[in-house]
Amino acid sequence: MVCTCPYEYDEDKARVRINCLGSIYGSSIEDFPECMGRVIDILLEVKKVNSVVLARQREYEYDVRQVRMLQEIAGVFEYAVAERFLSYKLESRVYPEWSSVLQTILLDLLRTDPIGAYVELLREIRNVKYKAKKAEKAEALKLESYIADVLEPLKQRLEETQLIKAVKDRLTGYHLGDRTLYRDLFKPSTRPNFMFTRYMVTPPEGAVSVDRYMVGDTKVEIFKLPHTTQHLYFVLPPEFRLTEDKYAILDAARQTMASYRPVTAELLKSERVREVFYNISRDVVRETAEKMGTRLSAHEIKMLASILTRYTAGYGILEVLLADEKIQDIYINSPVEKTPILINHADWHECTTNIIPTREDAEAWATRLRIQSGRPLDEANPVLDTDVTIPGIGAARFAVITRTLSPEGLAFAIRRHRFKPWTLPLFIRNRMLNSLAAGLLSFLIDGAVTLLIAGGRGAGKTSLLASLMLEILPQIRIVTIEDTLELPVKQLIDLGYNIESMKSRSVITKVETEMPADEALRTSLRLGDSCLIVGEIRSLEAKALWEAMRIGALSNVVAGTIHGESAYGVYDRVVNDLQVPPTSFKATDIIVICKVLRSADGLHRFRRVTEIVEVRKHWEKDPVREGGFVNLMEYRSRDDELKPTETLLNGESEVLNRIASMVREWAGNWSAVWENINLRAKIKQKQVEFAEKLKRPELLEARWTLKCNSRYHLLAERIRQELGYADAKRIYEEWLKWFKEEVKHAGG
């Protein structure tokens, strides 16, 4: 039987789209010979084709490489027609079945089962050779001519095609109608009709699974790809695993939902928009299923409504990726429809994915970002930098570029923010720092130092800064200043913190309605005595910040992030690039250096704190030559951890001694200071040990870290009042007893 599904040809994209809806056959080349035959027929008509789409409830798109294989088969058919093989004349009285065998190979098998055509051709050559040996001379000459003029040229043409080359050594046991080999060769990207995004159904041949886990109801598997150092992040959310009837329900429901889509900035910015759309989606899905005569359980309705909400009021497939806490960055290069989405994974680093966005996806995301941010994205303003919070999933910073800056169109770089705040125990667990470094940083924050966290992009600066905010007691007021909102302010407020968050103008997008960073900082100084946390020090605000620190306008913790790979690199950037006077820079107490390190084979990357540096005050012109930078802790690669220097061990830190001088029991008593640093380290280490031993990862999170810190301070104050000093041993014993009881009680 012949497939006659209609098709459309997009000349600009060189794409053929075949409408298989209502066809009695399927809608995939690899599974259905009729579909393969229809595609080859179309390729005989339309010469310039880079992709073929077979559309039903789902669309199956075959890329240029797969289309080329079929074009070569179509070329063999055209060759056979041009050489008039179908009209090859043999005396019917000799072997009348010859013409029917050749017709079957050329008119039927070559289009629908070219592998079968090749196998039958080989069989025919063997049969004719055998008969030629048995035939009389005149008949043998005819048979040999048939082989030389028709069968061998046809065989040679087929063997030159990529399809036959790929399977030639795998034909043992092959029988007509077997589509197994085609399923290895043809692996289309797929998308359900209700969404624009395409995805690869199966991993490439030769890919080896190295990791797998679940993110909610989404399956994630990591594959090592053959012949490359790159890994594949293979994701299968529920919308990729539905039955055809559910796809039909979603497709119809989305068309109904189109009239409900948020089209105004007010609605899009509303925190209730997703709740509203979810409720509408649930009703629409239920009603659509009833009209189609399909019974859905309450769970199925909820699942389909969640999917529909994601693709109408949300960011579609991006939300699936952002829900994975192991994903750190998402990259979508232009032109978006040409390459899969790329990610940076916490465990497997740079990975390609099985997800291929479309131009429609990109335009929808850009439109939503424009409306939600209230910022332009056009030829005059080719950059959009904004933060997005997705309820129930988390937050992310979107950087978008478009034409005039990106000639191939829209491109996206997305930095995922952890939905829960980072904590020092979490960093101990992932080895970014050790417990002693965590104890030292906690002590420094309590000591109201001025501290900079430096490093390159992706080194973990902002995450570490967020973890240090949890070392500030909740009753102490905090003012944050950011041009892109990355700090977990809302989560900390929910934990009881007293925070005033300020948004300054981005140096990239320069939105005129927002206050410049230097003016925002000067304003913060008028908001009362507070800890000051600066998201990232980039430009003019630096002068105002260091001047305020130098004259003592800030009496609490001042902390922020800055780009720089070393203490001197920070000094060079602050003094030479940002024009802060060297005398003002001396107001800096501590510089923490974060780096992204690589394994010897270059395949793995990991984040580490590599130095905790004290800035001394005696130097005049050059802090390096004059000993202005002194390491308190430094990274040793052999041990893969931070180690204390002699300066720290011997109590020679000027900053720590200054802090000690303000506490009666610590003044001139380095042993007491060192005990306190180690006490804090032991408390955080114990959190990690309990979390791992009990398989209770929540013990490392912000709520537990805050409880542990608060209990430490309460115990220290009570024991100080009882004994006249804060006995570290007794504090730890009572804290540990409390912690065990608290964990036991919380565990049920």
Question: For residue 465, is pLDDT > 90?
Answer: yes
Q: Is 592 helix (H, G, I), strand (E, B) or coil?
A: strand
Question: For residue 264, is pLDDT > 70?
Answer: no
Question: For residue 99, is pLDDT > 80?
Answer: no
In this prediction, residues 378-404 reach a mean pLDDT of 87
With CA atoms as reference, report the closest residue to 385 among 510, 503, 521, 490: 510
In this prediction, residues 7-11 reach a mean pLDDT of 92
Question: For residue 78, is pLDDT > 70?
Answer: yes
**For residue 266, which amino acid is it?**
E
In this prediction, residues 243-253 reach a mean pLDDT of 87
Question: Which residues make beta-bridge pairs with 327?
Answer: 345
**Which 3-state string (H, E, C) describes 659-684?**
HHHCCCCCCCCHHHHHHHHHHHHHHH
Question: For residue 133, is pLDDT > 80?
Answer: yes
Lowest mean pLDDT among 257-266, 371-380, 559-568: 257-266
Highest-confidence range of 331-340, 519-528, 545-554, 599-608, by mean pLDDT?
331-340
| pLDDT-based confidence at residue 530 (cuts at 50, 70, 90) | confident
Lowest mean pLDDT among 525-534, 575-584, 687-696: 525-534
| pLDDT-based confidence at residue 602 (cuts at 50, 70, 90) | low
Looking from the CA of 527 toward its CB, the CA atoms found within 13 Å total: 19
pLDDT at 580: 87
pLDDT at 553: 47
pLDDT at 94: 46
- Residues 14/29, Cβ–Cβ less than 8 Å: no
CA 186 to CA 167: how far, in whole Å? 12
In this prediction, residues 606-635 reach a mean pLDDT of 93
| pLDDT-based confidence at residue 1 (cuts at 50, 70, 90) | low
Q: What is the DSSP letter of 204?
A: P
In this prediction, residues 46-74 reach a mean pLDDT of 91
pTM comes to 0.73
Instruction: Write down how long the chain is.
Output: 748
In this prediction, residues 719-743 reach a mean pLDDT of 94
Q: Buried b / exposed e across 18-53, counting CB within 10 Å, b at 16+?
A: bebeebebbbbbbebbbbbbbbbbbbeeeeebebbb
Question: For residue 548, is pLDDT > 80?
Answer: no
Q: What is the DSSP letter of 238?
A: G
Question: For residue 347, is pLDDT > 80?
Answer: yes
Question: Which residues make beta-bridge pairs with 634?
Answer: 611, 643
How many percent of the chain have pLDDT more than 70? 91
- Integer-rounded Cα Rg, in Å, for the chain is 34
pLDDT at 263: 47
Distances (CA, A) of 205 to 209, 226, 482, 544, 637: 12, 8, 47, 59, 38
Complete domains list, the chain, with CATH? 7-184 (no CATH), 198-417 (3.30.450.380), 424-651 (3.40.50.300)
Distances (CA, A) of 174 to 119, 171, 179, 587: 8, 5, 10, 79
Lowest mean pLDDT among 56-65, 78-87, 487-496: 78-87
| pLDDT-based confidence at residue 93 (cuts at 50, 70, 90) | very low
With CA atoms as reference, report the closest residue to 631 among 607, 658, 610: 610
pLDDT at 485: 77
Average pLDDT, the chain: 87
Question: For residue 510, is pLDDT > 60?
Answer: no
Q: Is 233 helix (H, G, I), strand (E, B) or coil?
A: strand
Question: For residue 90, is pLDDT > 60?
Answer: no
pLDDT at 675: 96
pLDDT at 395: 82
Highest-confidence range of 101-110, 177-186, 431-440, by mean pLDDT?
431-440
Neighbours of 509 (CB within 10 A): 19
In this prediction, residues 224-249 reach a mean pLDDT of 89
**Chain position carrying tokens 């780009």:** 563
pLDDT at 410: 94
Phi, psi of 112 (to 5 degrees): -100, -25
